[in-house]
Amino acid sequence: MTLKRFFLPVLALVSGAVLAGCGGDGATSGGSGGPAASYSPRTYMLTAPSGQLSTAAADGSGDITGTLTLKNVESQVLWYVDQPSLEVGTTAAGL
């Protein structure tokens, strides 16, 4: 297996794990009927053979902003839900 064929799936899994770890502010996504009720519990993973991450200088609040541009995104998006039960699947990227 070439390094490129190994690296891309690993990058997708690591990206998904990083995205899954985002948040944690105690907000919930159900029940109240407010804006949070429309959030999906799914974690979506886009795969692409290449991309570019550009960051901007920190503003006065100390936050660093950035833009991730993916090139040649796959037509299928991988998704999973790990709580309350494990679900996995794919859906069209809608590009």
Tokens 């960051």 correspond to what residue?
Answer: 55
Greatest Cα pair distance in the chain: 49
pLDDT of residue 51: 92
Q: Residue 21: how many CB atoms within 10 A of its CB?
A: 9
Work out the mean pLDDT of the chain and round it to a whole number: 74
Which is more confident, 36 or 15?
15
Residue 85: pLDDT band by 50, 70, 90 thresholds?
confident
pTM, two decimals, is 0.48
